[in-house]
Amino acid sequence: GENVEQHPSTLSVQEGDSAVIKCTYSDSASNYFPWYKQELGKRPQLIIDIRSNVGEKKDQRIAVTLNKTAKHFSLHITETQPEDSAVYFCARWAGTALIFGKGTTLSVSS
């Protein structure tokens, strides 16, 4: 019930390729789904979020899609660059606080 499952745990791509990270949840009451990027030794930073009344949201090279019926949401990064290398966390709003996935380590090689 409470956890957010995130896959894959590691992802390696070539510069310019696309990267997709997927998260699943089981609580149908969840209505807010953010994505955070954490570079090595730094704080997690919000990069994009989506609410349950929207199916897709885009911000330049990143996009998030939400399928409420199937209870999954995904982060899409296009034209990846070496500076996209980081750990990415999905999360869901659980009514009082955010519950985070275990993270995906994205490595972009040039």
Partner 1 sequence: DTGVSQDPRHKITKRGQNVTFRCDPISEHNRLYWYRQTLGQGPEFLTYFQNEAQLEKSRLLSDRFSAERPKGSFSTLEIQRTEQGDSAMYLCASSFLGGGNYGYTFGSGTRLTVV
For residue 101, the SS3 value is: coil
- The footprint of partner 1 on this chain (CB under 8 A) covers a number of residues equal to 22
Q: Does 47 bind partner 1 (CB under 8 A)?
A: no
Q: With respect to partner 1, which residue has the nearer C-beta, 19 or 101?
A: 101
User: What are φ and ψ of residue 40, in 5° steps?
Assistant: -55, 125
Q: How far is the CB of 4 from partner 1 (least distance, A)?
A: 8
50: amino acid identity, one letter: I
Q: How far is the CB of 80 from partner 1 (least distance, A)?
A: 22
* CA dihedral (50, 35, 89, 76) positive or negative: positive
From the list 12-20, 46-54, 58-66, 72-80, the region that binds partner 1 by CB under 8 A is 46-54
Question: Residue 60: which residues within 8 A CB-CB, separation 6 or more?
Answer: none
Residues 6-45 close enough to bind partner 1 by CB under 8 A: 6, 32, 34, 36, 42-45
